[in-house]
């Protein structure tokens, strides 16, 4: 892992700068943290990344944007109606790829037959051995169309998540449910099926309400990951009507 440049050091010689910021190779790891905000991927075949996350690469790599029909008709329909799942890119070939996302922190998880749900905006990359599907939460009691979308990842392999700041993982138990702000919710275990609860009033629908309109309620046995930042609004007020 690269040693971060200290703010206390006013300047560096070229040799010192290269030594401080140069890549650090860890043979055997497909995903490697070059810094807490940058991921190096050793590509040997195919990996998946967030579209637009690549910042540099070496070797013979080919970038292919995920097709709308990738994964079948059911997944295609979810992609078309979801405004919260960022398109993916397939990266094929052999080489090293460097990815990052708006200066967000990167965390690497190893799935060993596990399942995890990740907010579409917080998924940076995953190995081709991990399968994915788009899931949707519809728990607004028919008060409005749409829902909250996430990516469900299952299998064996590495997954990289991004967060604004250090993530916090909260344990969920049957006797101790957890409610979170959807805009600050990054991921949750596959054993949980969150409910979207609301205190919508007529004024809040018109954009005149205050406070958090929606919360995600997690019941059962598992965990939920949050970040100290609200990514974006779940529902945007419409000027039409």
User: Which of 84-93, 97-106, 199-208 tops mean pLDDT?
Assistant: 97-106
**Are the CB atoms for 62 and 25 separated by under 8 Å?**
no
Tokens matching residue 68: 């709308």
Mean per-residue pLDDT for 142-161? 76
> DSSP of 110-150, one letter per residue?
EEEEEEEEEEGGGEEEEETTEEEEEEEE--STTSSS--EEE
Of residues 162 and 230, the one with the higher pLDDT is 162
Out of 69-78, 100-109, 129-138, 194-203, which region has the weakest mean confidence (pLDDT)? 69-78
Which whole number is the average pLDDT over 209-237? 75
Number of residues that make up the chain? 241
Closest CA relative to residue 126, chosen from 165, 99, 103, 95: 99
Q: Sheet harboring 214-218: ordered strands across?
A: 178-180, 214-218, 195-198
Residue 89 in this model has a pLDDT that exceeds 90 = yes
Residue that has been written with the tokens 């960022």 in this structure: 86
pLDDT of 14 reads 67
Q: Which of 97-101, 143-147, 168-172, 220-224 has the lowest mean pLDDT?
A: 143-147
Q: 92 pairs with which residues across the strands?
A: 46, 62
Whether the predicted pLDDT of 166 surpasses 50 = yes
Domains of the chain, with CATH numbers? 24-226 (3.60.160.10)
Q: How many CA atoms lie within 13 A of 136 on its CB side?
A: 16
DSSP assigned state of 182: G
More confident residue, 186 or 233: 186
Q: What pLDDT does residue 138 have?
A: 56
- Nearest residue to 47 (alpha-carbon basis) of 62, 27, 26, 69: 62
Rounded (5°) CA angle 225-33-42: 115
Q: What pLDDT was estimated at residue 120?
A: 84
Pick from 27, 39, 41: nearest CA to 93: 41
Q: List, for residues 2-48, the tens digit of each pLDDT value.
A: 455 555 666 776 687 777 777 666 656 899 999 999 999 999 999 99
């Amino acid at each position: 892992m690269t040693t971060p440049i200290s703010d206390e050091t006013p300047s560096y010689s070229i040799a010192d700068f290269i030594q401080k910021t140069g890549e650090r190779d860890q043979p055997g790891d497909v995903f490697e943290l070059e810094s807490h905000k940058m991921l190096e991927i050793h590509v040997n075949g195919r990996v998946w990344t967030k579209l637009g996350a690549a910042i540099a690469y070496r070797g013979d790599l080919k970038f292919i944007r995920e097709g709308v029909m990738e994964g079948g008709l059911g997944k295609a329909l979810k992609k078309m109606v979801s405004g919260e799942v960022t398109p993916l890119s397939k990266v094929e070939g052999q080489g090293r790829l460097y990815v990052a996302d708006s200066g967000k922190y990167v965390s690497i998880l190893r799935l060993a037959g596990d399942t995890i749900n990740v907010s579409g905006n917080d998924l940076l990359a995953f190995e081709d051995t991990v399968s994915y599907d788009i899931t949707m939460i519809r728990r607004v009691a028919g008060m409005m169309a749409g829902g909250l979308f996430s990516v469900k990842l299952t299998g064996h392999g590495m997954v990289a998540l991004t967060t604004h700041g250090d993530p916090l993982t909260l344990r969920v138990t049957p006797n101790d449910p957890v409610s979170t702000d959807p805009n600050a919710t990054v991921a949750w275990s596959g054993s949980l099926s969150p409910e979207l609860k609301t205190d919508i009033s007529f004024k809040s629908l018109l954009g005149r309400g205050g406070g958090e309109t929606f919360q995600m309620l997690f019941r059962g046995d598992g965990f939920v990951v949050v970040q100290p930042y609200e990514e974006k609004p779940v529902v945007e007020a419409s000027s039409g009507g």
